[in-house]
Structure 1
Amino acid sequence: MEAALGRVARSKYPRRENLLVCFSHLRWNFVHQRPQHILTLASKQQRVVYFEEPVFEDLTHPLMRTSEPSSNILIVTPVLPLGTSPTKADAVQRRFVQQAIAAMPHSRLIAWYYTPMALRFTEYLDADIYVYDCMDELSAFKNAPPELGQMEKALLRRADLVFTGGLSLFETKRRLHHEIYPFPSGIDVQHFHRARKPGKDPADQADIPHPRVGYFGVIDERLDVRLVALAARTMPDVHFVMLGPVVKIDPSSLPQAENLHWLGAKPYCELPDYLRHWDAGWMPFALNEATRFISPTKTPEFLAAGLPVVSTAIVDVVRSYGAAGLVEIADGDDLEIKLRSVLSRPHQTLWPQVDAYLANMSWEKTWNAMAAHIERAHQGKKVVPLRRSA
């Protein structure tokens, strides 16, 4: 396996250049969000290895499964035998990381972390720059490992740079590191602007009556399913379209109604096809520990698609999009009033204001700013302080 990986790497990547190795708790092919946007842009300047959490299968020996979503990105998925102990899993992943890095000659190594838990098998790394892109408060999520807090403290000690996925997260962690910067969700405006143009309605929602209010994203403990049920019950003439994979909660616990449509996960490339046929977007998030620091990527995506949006009182949404008058903020008591209000407006009313607001929020701008911080940090580490004479 090592020899095969080495041959591929040497044939495809003969030059010594920067190598960014990312350690993530998210599958590359799960939901297209912050990591995919940022690292795809990063791959234009360097090679990227995206190291996923292991999967467990009925195997005799571990193997390293790889795929290449683009010419300069390699996805590495450790596949471990069922019943592998945590200690053994760490040892195998450590070996796989060593193999992947050794197979790709590089002049500079950037270790990029989305999960502090990866320190369990990367503590030996000698990277030029360590980046912690803290996109969520993972310790508040359902089924979070009990040692996550201690692992994050260790990562903060090692990191040269810390980026946060929103302002609230930045404010709660800003005193924990001397080089920490907020980078709220960006937007691929061109992609979602497609929803403002005519197009065919996807087959699985073509027969759903209007008006339609839609949601897209992961369906987990952050979604207020009671509020979803209440909306469907109190607004029987409105049809609620829910897109996204169901994780960490029992699918059978999702409310059911004739005007409530759970259509499952959809590829990122197809989202504009669905959104163009919705009359409004909504973000019925629960207000709990898991949502206290989130900065939903879908907020600017809804707006770029040209849809009016109603959201529960997520702090980063209220203080930015709500304060700018671009998103209506609602709770259980006035949800129907707010939804019917936005449904009564022409879509185009807010487009000039929305486009002006989103003009400086591209993922390209986000990555360029991150890259500038990385370069500055690297140059700073190269400066060797002069010794004082005796």
Structure 2
Amino acid sequence: MGDDNSPRRKLRLGALAVALTATLALLCCTGGTAAFFLTELSGGSDDLSPEAQSACGSSHQVKVSGKMPRFAQYGESQIRNAAVIIKVGSDMKVPPRGWVIAVATAMQESGLRNLPHLGSRNDHDSVGLFQQRPSQGWGSPEQLQDPSYSSRKFYEKLVKVPGWEQLSLTRAAQRVQVSAFPDAYAKHEELASKIVDALAGGAARTVQVAQRSICNAASRGQIAASGWTAPIPGGVGSGFRTASRPRHNGVDIAAPKRTLIRVAATGRVLVARCDPANNGQLSCDVDGYPGKGGCGWFVDVLHAGGYVTRYCHMIVKPRVVPGQLVKAGEVIGEVGSSGNSSGPHLHFEVHLDGDRSSRGAVNPVPFMRDRGAPLNGKA
């Protein structure tokens, strides 16, 4: 078992300072824990409706009239504005990833409210859902207070950004908005994805392939509209906290050595190092074995919404370093068998609320499936 009693360090995810005070005790695939606590952005907690969960892969018909789904943070008129944003994107044949970006942008800029000019309370002449400025050529004040018009103007600029679908939400939104607070968009991605799913039949869980939205196909570097991808292709072998391994806080995905491991979503690297186990006496640069202990070479990444993903048993030192910003699908390492391992595989964990200990761990299988990036394993 390896311990890290380093003093408190501060990492930034955008404009947010994350204070870490940590004692790491990883036993990975024998069910160890890591006692880390941090303060981080919190996303929306609204669950998808059963209708939205079952509708993934539908034609994504969006209604802007009638009763709207409920989200704790927003009233019906605000969700109706989100529906208008999504429908305009759909009518313009913008892929669903663009809908998530647009809704998240409007959440940050106006709280999904169609704001008039706020006079002395406003820094500039910004109006509408996206706080677009007439003085910068977006349109007249009257036009920009039409949600359909302002949404169309946003999408027109978004699709002209080279490679916008591969950019992080923050970078894509910033290229359109040129905001004074460019790092503020990321915290809305999780809830924006849920709103898009609820209003457009699971659209945030799709991948755009040959101009078609394919449900649950995010692997091999493809990114779902939600912004998530599977770390490696393959299916789950050893599951989450099974009867035989109740302390197994992740899942194991078998793969050949040197298979590329991709980060599941955009985020900031928290840890990238060797967990050598047995009081640091054993190396991570050799194959491990059952009972050795430790995660071997591993990486932890913090994502918007307070999610943390963990990637264990890499064959060599990770390709990333603590504090580095990584975008969804970026290669962070290679599959190996270092640490407590009986063969080449990726041990993959997901933690909630920034809690890297066993208390924060959740089953990655339904978590990733709900984001359109299934691990293709058993629930």
For CA contacts below 8 A with separation 6 or more, give which structure has more relative contact order.
2
**Would you tell me which structure has more helix in proportion to its own residues?**
1
Q: Report the TM range for the smaller structure's normalisation.
A: under 0.3
